[in-house]
């Protein structure tokens, strides 16, 4: 079985496509035979050795795979064999087949293409559940930081689908155009955002870093700040002290990771995402497609950034 494997973590990482042992389902697991695999920035961080849950050299990155259940392990109903699913492995997903906990396997609607499923994948689930926890509703004022990225683009679409007014903070005219076409009310440049009105109900932040405080200050009274990524670096304690400065406007700061979400909530969110796809208000956008043999190149494409949508591998 071929897989994209990190041989040495670092920047640059040493990554190769290798032929290894077939995937076997352990207790509570299924093996998903891949038809499409999603590549995300988190895989770049893993290959650099910067992601806590990545097992390290010798392992494959990859957190999302769409395909067919090929076999089931002890404790899993054999009736799952043959089902089309989106699987969310704890890494190992850039491979022809991968063992996934049966709790993290989600059914694909008839007609949902594998490429679309992985283009939605982790990003749509983070955006949908995160926005729900922050209380998204019609006419809400939402600001998305890193809006041109994987999570940001889906947060923009999903918030707009709820009837919210979305300000998309992004880095260039092409991304701005694509975000307006995805439902954003307006776009602003990264440098412009800190000077905006302080009237935002929900900030979705996938960037973090030292500018986090400037964006926290944009919250209206009782606003929610959803910190779900750190593409710009991990914020320091000093960046977070602004929450005390803002005490009397009762801000809420949510840290949100999909790792904390249980099986039932994952399934419910995926059903809501699939329903939004059915309405045409949310789409899984594919930026680039590569064969598995070009996996290292696909990782470099994600590392370079700039593409709008998902980088997808095919077996
Ligand atoms: N919470 C979770 O469960 C979860 C799950 C998966 C990933 N993540 C994390 O979420 C983060 C984003 O993931 P992603 O897949 O959306 O990444 P991504 O596709 O690379 O998007 C990040 C976006 O942030 C913006 N950006 C990057 N560096 C920046 C900087 N220094 N200053 C300002 N903006 C910057 C860019 O958007 P613009 O060009 O539009 O500005 C970029 O496209 C990563 O840290 C990832 O590890 C979290």
Residue 306's pLDDT band (cuts 50, 70, 90):
confident
**Alpha carbon 20 to chain centroid, angstroms:** 28
Assess whether 154 and 248 both reside in one domain.
yes
Residue 269 lies in a domain: no
Residue 271 lies in a domain: no
Residue 263 lies in a domain: no
Give the domain extent around 297. Answer: 2-108+285-314
Assess whether 129 and 254 both reside in one domain.
yes
What is the DSSP code (8-state) at residue 196? S
Assess whether 15 and 44 both reside in one domain.
yes
Q: CA 109 to CA 232: how far, in whole Å?
A: 35
**Which of 143-152, 275-284, 302-311 has the weakest average pLDDT?**
302-311
Mutate to test the pocket of ligand 1, among 54, 169, 206, 269 (most ligand atoms within 8 A of CB): 206
Residues of the chain with pLDDT > 90, as a percent, come to: 94
Residue 274 lies in a domain: no
For the CA atoms of 158, 164, 170, 173, the dihedral, rounded to the nearest 10 degrees, stands at 100
Assess whether 250 and 147 both reside in one domain.
yes
- For residue 87, the domain's CATH number is 3.90.180.10
**Domain count of the fold of the chain:** 2
Assess whether 70 and 165 both reside in one domain.
no
Assess whether 144 and 248 both reside in one domain.
yes
Assess whether 157 and 32 both reside in one domain.
no
CA of 80 to the centre of ligand 1 (A): 34
299 within 8 A of 41, measured Cβ to Cβ: no
Q: CA 159 to CA 180: how far, in whole Å?
A: 13
**Beta-carbon count within 10 A of 56 CB:** 11
As for ligand 1, residues whose beta carbon falls within 6 Å of it are 40-42, 45, 122, 126, 146-152, 170-171, 175, 190, 206-207, 209, 228-232, 256-258, 305
Assess whether 72 and 17 both reside in one domain.
yes
Assess whether 194 and 232 both reside in one domain.
yes
Residue 272 lies in a domain: no
Assess whether 139 and 240 both reside in one domain.
yes
Whether 305 has a pLDDT exceeding 90, the answer reads no
CA angle 24, 298, 146 (to 5 degrees): 105
Residue 279 lies in a domain: no
Assess whether 94 and 134 both reside in one domain.
no
- For residue 145, the domain's CATH number is 3.40.50.720
Consecutive H or E run containing 270:
helix 263-279
Mutate to test the pocket of ligand 1, among 104, 118, 149 (most ligand atoms within 8 A of CB): 149
* Model confidence pLDDT, tens digit, residues 134-161: 999 999 999 999 999 999 999 999 999 9
> Over the chain, what is the mean pLDDT?
96
Mutate to test the pocket of ligand 1, among 93, 194, 207 (most ligand atoms within 8 A of CB): 207
CA of 208 to the centre of ligand 1 (A): 9
The widest CA-to-CA distance across the chain, in whole angstroms, is 59
Assess whether 232 and 104 both reside in one domain.
no
pLDDT given at position 18:
97
Whether 118 has a pLDDT exceeding 90, the answer reads yes
Residue 211 lies in a domain: yes
Residue 255's pLDDT band (cuts 50, 70, 90):
very high
Query: 269 or 240, which is more confident?
Result: 269
CA of 146 to the centre of ligand 1 (A): 6
Residue 56 lies in a domain: yes
Structure tokens at 210: 């030292």
Q: Tokens 């920047």 map to which residue?
A: 11
* Model confidence pLDDT, tens digit, residues 211-227: 999 999 999 999 999 99
* Model confidence pLDDT, tens digit, residues 23-55: 999 999 999 999 999 999 999 999 999 998 999
Model-wide pTM > 0.95: yes
């Amino acid at each position: 079985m071929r897989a994209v494997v990190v041989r040495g973590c670092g920047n640059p990482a040493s990554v190769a496509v290798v032929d290894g042992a077939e995937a076997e389902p352990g207790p509570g697991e299924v093996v998903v035979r891949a038809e499409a695999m999603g590549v995300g920035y988190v895989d770049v961080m893993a290959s650099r050795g910067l992601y806590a849950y990545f097992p390290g050299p010798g392992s494959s990155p990859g957190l999302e795979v769409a395909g067919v259940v090929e076999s089931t392990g002890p404790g899993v109903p054999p009736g799952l064999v043959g089902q089309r699913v989106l699987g969310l492995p704890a890494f190992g997903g850039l491979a022809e087949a991968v063992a996934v906990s049966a709790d993290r396997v989600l059914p694909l609607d008839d007609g949902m293409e594998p490429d679309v499923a992985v283009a939605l994948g982790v990003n749509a689930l983070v955006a949908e559940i995160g926005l729900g926890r922050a209380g998204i509703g019609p006419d809400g004022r939402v600001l998305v930081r890193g809006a041109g990225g994987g999570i940001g683009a889906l947060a923009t679409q999903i918030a707009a689908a709820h009837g919210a007014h979305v300000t998309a903070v992004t880095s260039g005219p092409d991304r701005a155009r694509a975000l307006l076409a995805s439902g954003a009310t307006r776009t602003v440049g990264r440098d412009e955002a800190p000077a905006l009105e302080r009237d935002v109900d929900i900030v979705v932040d996938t960037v973090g870093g030292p500018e986090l405080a400037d964006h926290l200050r944009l919250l209206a009274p009782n606003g929610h700040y959803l910190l779900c990524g750190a593409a710009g670096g991990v914020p320091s304690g000093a960046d977070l002290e602004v929450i005390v400065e803002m005490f009397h406007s009762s801000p809420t700061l949510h840290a949100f990771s999909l790792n904390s979400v249980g099986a039932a909530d994952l399934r419910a969110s995926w059903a809501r995402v699939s329903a939004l796809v059915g309405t045409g208000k949310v789409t899984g956008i594919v930026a680039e497609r590569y064969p598995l043999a070009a996996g290292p190149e696909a990782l470099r494409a994600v590392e370079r950034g700039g593409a709008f949508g998902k980088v997808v591998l095919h077996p």
